[in-house]
Amino acid sequence: MSRYDAGEGPDPAQPYVAPLQAWEAFVHDRGRIENDLYVAYVNLLTRYREKLDECEREKRNAMLWEKEQRMSERELNSLKTVAESSPFAFVVVDGDGAVFREDLISRGEDGGIEAAHELHQQLKTYFHDQPQFCNIDTIFVHVVLSLEGLSRALHNSGAINPPDYGALTKFARGFARAQPLFTFTDVGYGKEQADHKVRKLFEVMEKNIQCRCLVLAGCHDNGYATFLESFRGNQKICLLETTPPAADFRKFTFKRVAFPSVFRSEPLLSRSTFPPGFTPATGMTPFTPGSMTSPSILSPGSGIGINPLPSPAVTASNESPRPTHPAPVAPAPIAAPKPEPQPSMASTANTASSYATVGRSSAPLTINIAAQKKPAVTRLFIQLNKHDERVDIPLTKPDPNAVKSLDDRRQMSGMNLCNRYHLANSCKNANCSFYHGERLNPAEILALRHKTRNLVCSSGHYCREIACNLGHHCPNPGSCYFGEDCRFSEMHGMDITPTIKIYEDGNREVL
């Protein structure tokens, strides 16, 4: 054993080992905490800079939006100023039914000039008496009619005497010349031509904000009543009454005005008329009930005229007294001969007497045996608007008697009618809780379609079922009378102009 070994004792550094280890752990924890603080600080700084950039962008956008708002307000005020500074009234006249007075028409251009000035003065007086229209000074009048058709109607009714087929044309010329904003439009022969143009003019002017008053002279035609349904509640619409208004116009609350000093207050007398360009043959008389003659046939060499055969009674009176028999009705053109039952002896004698008289005519009886064309098969389809939303196909007006018949059936049975059974013929529910019973006639089916159209389809305007009879939008989405209480209130504002047809076989047709 060395002397050094004998002198060893406890390690003097031992007491410092534990504190040193504790200090090292503290330093390590502090470094970790400092690193975490540094990372959090960097993240916070990054977010701060992002928010700062975002605020700068929003500030610039707010300045741009404020600038655009000021520009839009100036533009809107300018448009309001223009609209308020140049209000006008537009009067559209269906001249085929709203007829000017015959004493004015018979005077030609002078009558047209007087009618234009009188109508302008009457309209100005009416507008100035109405607080809503008192600032209107500009008046447009657009008369749409068939000059040829109305001229014939006037002369056939005897309204113009002596006859002057050019009187209406001269009247129109004077009417248009007297007032620079008055126009006459000749749409040619055919009533629907005038109706279509009147409706389009009305629709365009109804959307014009400068048009403060829109006057329609068409109360003689129930067709305009259906057209006006979608404009209920429009305060700028006014009806110009000439002849007594049709029954369907009584339900409207539009303002009404009449100018008996300009327009006829009674309809033209209805007499027998001929199509344009038709020249009656010599001796031809118009058909009247109670004076039935034998069937008319084309006579060789008679040109375009049609010579009616004399009735058996008249022929008999010209020859010798004999019993007269009613003239038989001429058979319609047939596609192929068909066997007929043998007549009795008495009927054979009567028929022989009648046809013997017909046989004396110089023209032979001609029967057309050409093959008849088969009627086209109607394909079912649905309609969509430009947004691919379903648009219901319009229904014609139901017969009030058919509506009453449906109500009577419902009251007698105590149940509502089964729509599937009567409309689709497809009710397969053996325990159906709705009334089946006797099949409905066509008029009652139409009335039932109107009732079911008032029920909202669960698929709404997304429905693509061809046979669906329920409603898919409000009939008057632009101006519904019921407002928010309407069953179809969610569809209000929907465009109901169809742009495409989709048939049941999948084919499409662009409208």
Percent of the chain beyond pLDDT 90? 25
Looking at residue 19, what is its pLDDT?
87
Q: Of 257, 265, 242, 260, give the one whose Cα is nearest residue 139.
A: 257
Q: Give 47's pLDDT tier (boundaries 50, 70, 90).
A: very high
Q: Report yes or no: 240 and 216 within 8 Å, Cβ to Cβ.
A: yes
Query: Is this structure's pTM higher than 0.75?
Result: no
Per-residue pLDDT for 431 more than 60? yes
Mean pLDDT of 101-120: 93
Question: For residue 355, which phi and psi values (nearest 5 degrees)?
Answer: -75, -20
- Highest mean pLDDT among 12-16, 31-35, 340-344, 408-412 belongs to 31-35
Question: pLDDT tens digit string along 469-482?
Answer: 888 888 776 678 77
The pLDDT confidence band at residue 369, using thresholds 50, 70 and 90, is: low
Q: What are phi and psi of 282, to 5 degrees?
A: -65, 130
Token duo for residue 141 = 């009048």
Long-range contacts from 354-358, C-beta under 8 angstroms, 24+ separation:
354/312, 354/325, 354/326, 354/327, 354/328, 355/328, 357/294, 357/310, 357/312, 357/315, 357/316, 358/294, 358/295, 358/309, 358/312, 358/327
**Average model confidence (pLDDT) across the chain:** 77
Return d(Cα 474, Cα 488) in angstroms, integer: 5
Alpha carbons 382 and 500: distance in angstroms, whole number: 8
pLDDT (average), residues 187-192: 72
- Kindly indicate the confidence band of residue 162, based on its pLDDT and cuts at 50, 70 and 90: low
